[in-house]
Amino acid sequence: MPVEYIFFLANASLTLRLVRHLNREVSSLPPCSLTVIHRIDGWLVKIKFDTQLAPMQAGNFRAYLSEIGIPFEPDIRLQMAFWSLETGQSPVDVMRRYQLAIVAHGYPDRQEIETFCQQFTRGLGYCPETLA
């Protein structure tokens, strides 16, 4: 049975730290997918594991997430966006429909997040706190 965690992270550094953690723990954790959404006030991440984590793993993972972010309860619009992505709709279509900045969806990949931050900063001409 799949298990998911949705957390709010304050900035890109914390989001990248989570991706590094997931990639380092790949041998001890079940396969997962990661959805990353950038908002004006921070980042939403949804981590979905294919199977249940062992009780010790689940506790450790929740503790790790709580150190870098706060649990987040998505509103209906975000729930529908997550569901749309999970049913195979393209991230671009979901972004248009729900007016979201979906930075990454699928295997945890830091390159997508770093590229987004660079392009966003270049477009603004400065680096907002959430992209640091």
Segment 95-120 mean pLDDT: 91
What pTM value is reported for the model? 0.91
Task: With beta carbons less than 8 A apart as the criterion, state whether 19 and 110 touch.
Answer: yes
How many structural domains is the chain composed of? 1
Residue 116 confidence (pLDDT) above 90: no
Segment 73-88 mean pLDDT: 96
Distances (CA, A) of 132 to 26, 39, 51: 26, 14, 33
Rounded to whole angstroms, the Cα distance separating 51 from 35 reads 17
Q: Comparing C-alpha atoms, which of 71, 63, 80 is closest to residue 44?
A: 71
Segment holding 45, helix H or strand E: strand 42-49
More confident residue, 33 or 117: 33
What is the domain-level CATH number for residue 72? 3.30.70.1950
Q: For residue range 18-76, what is the model confidence (pLDDT) as tens digits?
A: 999 999 887 788 889 999 999 999 999 999 999 999 999 999 999 999 999 999 999 99
Domain housing 96: 3-131
